[in-house]
Amino acid sequence: MSRSRHRHGRAGRAALFVVLCGVLLLGFPASVPARAVPPSPPAGPENSPDQAPMVIVPSGAPAPPALTAASAVLLDVASGRVLYAKAGAVQRPPASLTKVMTALLALEGGGLDEPVEVSEAAANVGGSSLWLAAGETQTLRDLLYGLLLRSGNDAAMAIAEHVAGNADDFALLMNRRAAAIGVTATHFRNPHGLPTSGHVSTATDLALIAREALLREDFRQIVATRRHVIPWPGQPWDRAVYNENRLLWLYPGADGVKTGWTEEAGRCLIASATREGWPLVAVLLDAPEMWTDATELLDWGFASFRCLELYAAGSQVSRVRVAGAAERWVPLAAGRSVRLAVLPGEEARIEVVPVAPSFVRSPLKAGTQAGSLRLAVDGVPLAAVPLVVAENVPPGGIVGRFVEDLWVLLLETLRRVLAPDATPDATMDAMPGATMDATPDGARGAARSESAPA
């Protein structure tokens, strides 16, 4: 009798499991799982400063120019693809190129019209300066212009203290943001780039940081500005600051980004240019002829590659189910245009993979990120483009919410039964227990003073 009850108990649990599977399978039509693409590796093997620098370009690219820079990288801003790397993974002092991260954090914090009071510590920072006085008040916006055009170290310190309270805590924010971008060999110790032990980055990392900043319209507007006027309290005139990036005057399409120099770092430059809506960014570290290097590297990039648009911004890429509804789907669209720098004949080797949750929960506003579109060429992963909800998803009412909650409960139960040790991916907080797959809709396969450190 005991063994009979045991057999009946096991049969009952098996029946319950079959019922759970049936309920879920009725609502989930077959879909093609999307492969998650791992983070992009560095551009190439790391070289020590004493080794001959290794130059890496995509297979089939024309011969690149010979550069004077100790380290250099050319990056496609749209996709994050490295088009050229010379000792791109070697750690070096970044000098004032540090200020790109300082500006990015300030812009992401918002409040550009907020007043910032300059502390005595900020006013007394050495090197390149806006001549800020202790107790002076400027808007965060004007300090950013002084930071990125004139390379004011005092502006950098004032911004850091305004955002984080002090420079040390701001450096922690800088490193946290760098890790979120995916850079692996950068460590910031201050907001301005003056020489400090352990304050290092690489050409590849700085290119990725610059790309993140260049995706912002407000950052692009500042670094493309040639002249800006900043109030000067107590003086009969204002401060007129001029951009120290000579390429804005000399190179067709130049629109950024930042110069830098210290005796330890040498001459450094992040140079961006856009032609026919296609932006490239070059990073040069310890480059005696940085203006020539930048011109030749950008020319080579624009001549060797072309920009291929895979999806226009707002075009539908895939769709995702709304929880609790067998036939309720919401389209997912590209959050921005999906473009990629390619060589002739590379189109067939491009992989575009939509990665989205199995379902989303209502309500959702149009434009809410709900996944990503992963790009790769020859299996090398590139940057991901956000996938956003293309239309509003209204709430389903009391009954609808109950059905959604039941749906999520059943899915979570099934996940725990089938893979109790697995950790579910969560693209959004509103997607508990989500697993990453998608139903694709036609997704494609295959002139400054060099004596003042900045």
Catalytic residues: 96, 99, 151
User: Which residue has tokens 């992989």?
Assistant: 351
List, in order, residues 6 or more apart from 327 with CB less than 8 Å away. Answer: none
Q: Name the β-bridge partners of 260.
A: 268
Round to whole Å and give the CA distance between 105 and 163.
Answer: 8
> Do 387 and 354 touch, CB atoms closer than 8 A?
yes
Q: Name the β-bridge partners of 116.
A: 138
Strands 359-360, 239-242: pairing is unpaired
DSSP 93: -
Q: What is the largest CA-CA distance in the chain?
A: 102
- Mapped to the 3 state alphabet, what secondary structure does 235-297 carry? CCCCEEEECCCCHHHHCCCEEEEEEEEECCCEEEEEEEEEECCEEEEEEEECCCCHHHHHHHH
Return the SS3 of 7. helix
Picking from 108, 109, 96, the residue whose alpha carbon sits closest to that of residue 146 is: 96
| Helices assigned H by DSSP within 73-216 | 99-109, 120-123, 140-148, 153-164, 167-181, 203-214
Q: Name the β-bridge partners of 104.
A: none
Round to whole Å and give the CA distance between 343 and 305.
Answer: 5
CA 321 centroid distance within chain? 28
Burial tier of 1 (Cβ tally within 10 Å: 0-12, 13-18, 19+): exposed
Burial tier of 309 (Cβ tally within 10 Å: 0-12, 13-18, 19+): middle
Is the four-CA dihedral 344, 206, 96, 275 of positive or negative sign? Answer: positive
Structure tokens at 161: 């203290």
Query: Measured at the alpha carbon of residue 177, what is the angle toward residues 175 and 183, in degrees to the nearest 5?
Result: 75
Q: What are the CA-CA distances from residue 387 to residues 37, 59, 307, 315, 350 (Å)?
A: 15, 30, 21, 10, 18
Picking from 213, 209, 186, the residue whose alpha carbon sits closest to that of residue 90 is: 186
